[in-house]
Amino acid sequence: MELRLTEIFHSLQGESRTVGRPTVFVRLTGCPQRCVWCDTEYAFSGGEKWSLAAILEEVAALGAQYVTVTGGEPLAQPSCLPLLKTLCDEGYQVSLETGGAMDIAGVDERVSVVMDLKAPGSGEQHNNRLSNIALLKAHHQVKFVLADRKDYDWARFMLDQYQLHQRVSDVLFSPVQGTLAPGDLANWIVEDRLPVRFQLQLHKLLWNDARGR
């Protein structure tokens, strides 16, 4: 079994409820979506083929207990599912970052899924796979990346419509860096008393989004 990888590295978790924890990132190559504000376009193509055994060896050598499988869109490669299962079997705490367009039904139950719902400003709203919402579990998370007030109002509607905060441990609201002022988003959440977690991407604050950090 082989997967196409853009990079494997050790850093601090930059977002989600485990933000700040030392984590190994396995970044799979390829994504069928094209969010206008995507910050990992370098993962759209290229990469190298790795065997599952080689990935496990590298993850072990990097030495963290938390592993995040990300992309690109990891679920675009069918072998992502056995990778996730094997990482769980090896005793790692595993999370999966997925863009919300692909079916999460086959993901190992032990994995903490962090699923995006793409707001209108991403240009990818039409690809949200809404049937995934019924598959969300209490240890999963839903992430909205928001470019403007219109995106915020849409996310607030989705939160209410699907009672997302009742389904998952955390609903995450993030501003698009350089597009929506973080203070504006924070103020809207406070004013509306939304049951969500505001977040900034730690790796951008610490390392200005350098690759491999």
The contact pattern for ligand SF4, residues 102-141, with x = CB under 6 A and - = no contact, is ----------------------------------------
Looking at residues 33 to 62 of the shown chain, list those that interact with ligand SF4 (rule: CB under 6 A). 33-35, 38, 40
Does the annotation place 207 within a ligand binding site? no
Q: Cβ 187 to ligand SF4, closest distance in Å? A: 25
Beta carbon nearer to ligand SF4, 42 or 162: 42
Q: Cβ 205 to ligand SF4, closest distance in Å? A: 19
Within 10 A of 91 (CB to CB), how many other CB atoms are there? Answer: 8
Among 6, 26, 47, 72, binds ligand SF4 (CB under 6 A): 72
Beta carbon nearer to ligand SF4, 35 or 194: 35
Does the annotation place 91 within a ligand binding site? no
For 55, the token pair is 């990935």
User: Which stretch in 7-15, 29-37, 81-89, 197-205 sits in contact with ligand SF4 by CB under 6 A?
Assistant: 29-37
Rg (CA), the chain: 16
Are residues 37 and 176 in contact, defined by beta-carbon separation less than 8 angstroms?
A: yes
Q: Give the rounded distance of the alpha carbon of 52 from its chain centre.
A: 21
Are residues 72 and 6 in contact, defined by beta-carbon separation less than 8 angstroms?
A: yes
Are residues 132 and 100 in contact, defined by beta-carbon separation less than 8 angstroms?
A: yes
Does the annotation place 35 within a ligand binding site? yes
Q: Cβ 98 to ligand SF4, closest distance in Å? A: 8
DSSP letters for 162-213: HTHHHHSSEEEEEEPTTTS-HHHHHHHHHHHT-SSEE---HHHHHHTT-TT-
Between β-strands 93-98 and 112-116, what pairing exists: parallel, antiparallel or unpaired? parallel
Does the annotation place 80 within a ligand binding site? no
Residue 99 near ligand SF4 by CB under 6 A? yes
Binding site for ligand SF4 (CB under 6 A): 31, 33-35, 38, 40, 71-73, 99
Binding-site annotation, residues for S-adenosyl-L-methionine: 37-39, 72
